[in-house]
Amino acid sequence: MNLKSILGSVVCSIFFLGTMHISIPVTAAETNSKLIALTFDDGPNTTTTNEVLDILEKYNAAASFFLIGDNINDESAAVVKRAYDMGCEIDNHSKTHPNMSELTAEEIIEQIEYVDKYVYEITGEYTKFFRPPFIDTSQTMYDVIDKPFICGVGCNDFMDNVTAQERADSVIASAKDGAIILLHDARGNYQTVEALKTIIPTLQADGYEFVTLTELFEHQGETPNETQLYSQVTKYPCKDYTVYKNIFTGEVTGNTSSVEWSKAAVFDGSELASLENTYAVEVNYSGTYQPVIALQKWSGDPLFCSVQPCYYNGSKACFLAADIQAALIENNVEYTDLNRISVIPYGGTMTITNVDILVKNNSSDKTVSGDVNADKSFTIADIVMMQKYILNAGTLIDSIAGDLCKDNHIDIFDLCIMKQMLIQQNA
């Protein structure tokens, strides 16, 4: 289907709105939307899962549920259907929750297909994402499971001695735009149910919107990569940067202990310090795990600290100066105190092909007309987001960019202008 056909379908699907008086005010708050995905493992059941759904329903929040196949029965199937009908996503956590890295390819496929079969019978859809039990992975699993792998940031809510308040405090402290939160709705996990009563309203008051994993990837403008293990999904942060200096071009492969990293991607601490907060580091890589920047000090009080990327997608990772500087402050060191600043794998084996230092452009930020998902470009993804917003099924990241009629309202007329703009852009 070509672009004009796609756009025609989009507009036809909302044509009936033309006779309705839809007028959605543009508000400043909408430009500061932050997204977070709550995910729950080890259901379904008729007790805890329902209690979680009660809270989600109360606060109009969505979530994603990773089911264990052996927990699906006639009674719990009704709970799965309730979650699905509420707009939650139903995902795959295997049939029996084994260490799947120890299984054969055939056994792995059986674990996945068992869950998919029953979820399809309940919802009419197959699961979209997979969380490995115990976050235990293998290359065979990546080879035969045709779903993106999800990890997430946990709060040890599977441990009875972690209180509801401790769970809530941990999740709230971990919250950031694009975060995936790993929780459990296993039968009897009442402390997580209690924690949600604090987590959801607190983060909503701080401007967060709770979305499914599919919605998270869509709104962030990212396509899930089936060879990557995700704990966050963020927007690409370096559109307004240019290359300042190439650190490495070639190909190096190794694990975390490989000596090759000390040859391939080492930074000059004095140079980074001179760039202050204007720089970023971009790494082209391949591998299951994302790269990290290792800060190492060997004399005096030894230090090994790894800085996680603010963005990664299976082929590109970005590190912002602010995150590296925060790690220095936390460890009470300066750039020049370190013996080595280098790129290494977070885990497993990784290949890097390019490492650049980027710097911010001097030009001031400008709003791109129609760029309602705030990714610095205008594409069909913006039209899809606008359509959902008008249908009251989603939000806009930058509503000002969508006010193409300049009347301080978002309506069907703005969407029609966007459609014409994209046709002209791709003519």
Q: Are 307 and 374 in the same domain?
A: no
Identify whether 236 is part of a domain: no
Q: What is the pLDDT of residue 400?
A: 79
Query: Is the pLDDT assigned to residue 7 strictly greater than 70?
Result: no
CATH number for the domain spanning 298: value is: 2.60.120.1070
Q: Rounded to an integer, what distance in angstroms lies between the CA atom of residue 139 and that of residue 146?
A: 13
Mark which of 196, 211, 230 sits at the end of a domain.
230
Region 251-262 average pLDDT: 89
**195 versus 1: which is more confidently predicted?**
195
Identify whether 177 is part of a domain: yes
Identify whether 155 is part of a domain: yes
Q: Are 45 and 175 in the same domain?
A: yes
CB 346 within 8 A of CB 357: no
Q: What is the pLDDT of residue 394?
A: 72
pLDDT band at 51 (very low <50, low <70, confident <90, very high): very high
Amino acid at 414: D
Mean per-residue pLDDT of the chain: 89
Identify whether 14 is part of a domain: yes
CB 226 within 8 A of CB 146: yes
Please, what is the angle between helix 190-205 and helix 48-58, to 10°? 20
CB 281 within 8 A of CB 358: yes
Identify whether 375 is part of a domain: yes
Q: What is the pLDDT of residue 382?
A: 87
Region 188-200 average pLDDT: 98
Identify whether 1 is part of a domain: no
Q: Are 208 and 349 in the same domain?
A: no
Mark which of 206, 230, 254 sits at the end of a domain.
230
Q: Are 322 and 375 in the same domain?
A: no
Mark which of 230, 265, 289 sits at the end of a domain.
230
Q: What is the pTM of this model?
A: 0.75
Q: 3-class DSSP state for residue 132?
A: coil
Query: Is the pLDDT assigned to residue 28 strictly greater than 80?
Result: no
**81 versus 15: which is more confidently predicted?**
81
Q: Are 225 and 102 in the same domain?
A: yes
Count of domains observed in the chain: 3
pLDDT in tens, 309-345: 999 999 999 999 999 999 999 999 999 999 999 999 9
Q: Are 356 and 391 in the same domain?
A: no
Query: Is the pLDDT assigned to residue 14 strictly greater than 50?
Result: no
pLDDT in tens, 338-355: 999 999 999 889 999 999
Q: What percent of the chain has pLDDT over 90?
A: 71
Q: Are 180 and 207 in the same domain?
A: yes
Identify whether 46 is part of a domain: yes
Q: What are phi and psi of 252, to 5 degrees?
A: -130, 135
Q: Are 93 and 136 in the same domain?
A: yes
Q: Are 70 and 120 in the same domain?
A: yes
Region 370-379 average pLDDT: 84
CATH number for the domain spanning 380: value is: 1.10.1330.10
**194 versus 259: which is more confidently predicted?**
194
Could you tell me the residue range of the domain that residue 408 belongs to?
7-26+364-425
Eight-class DSSP state of 59: T
Structure tokens at 145: 């499971």
| Contacts of 50 by beta carbon, 8 Å cutoff, 6+ apart | 79, 82
Q: What is the pLDDT of residue 420?
A: 83
Q: What is the pLDDT of residue 426?
A: 66
CATH number for the domain spanning 186: value is: 3.20.20.370
Q: Are 57 and 111 in the same domain?
A: yes
Query: Is the pLDDT assigned to residue 10 strictly greater than 90?
Result: no
Q: What is the pLDDT of residue 384?
A: 86
Region 138-147 average pLDDT: 96
DSSP per position, 153-216 = EE--TTSTTS-HHHHHHHHHHH--TTEEEEEE--TT-HHHHHHHHHHHHHHHHTTEEE--HHHH
pLDDT band at 12 (very low <50, low <70, confident <90, very high): very low
Q: Are 61 and 112 in the same domain?
A: yes
Identify whether 235 is part of a domain: no
Structure tokens at 295: 């800060």
Q: Are 257 and 185 in the same domain?
A: no
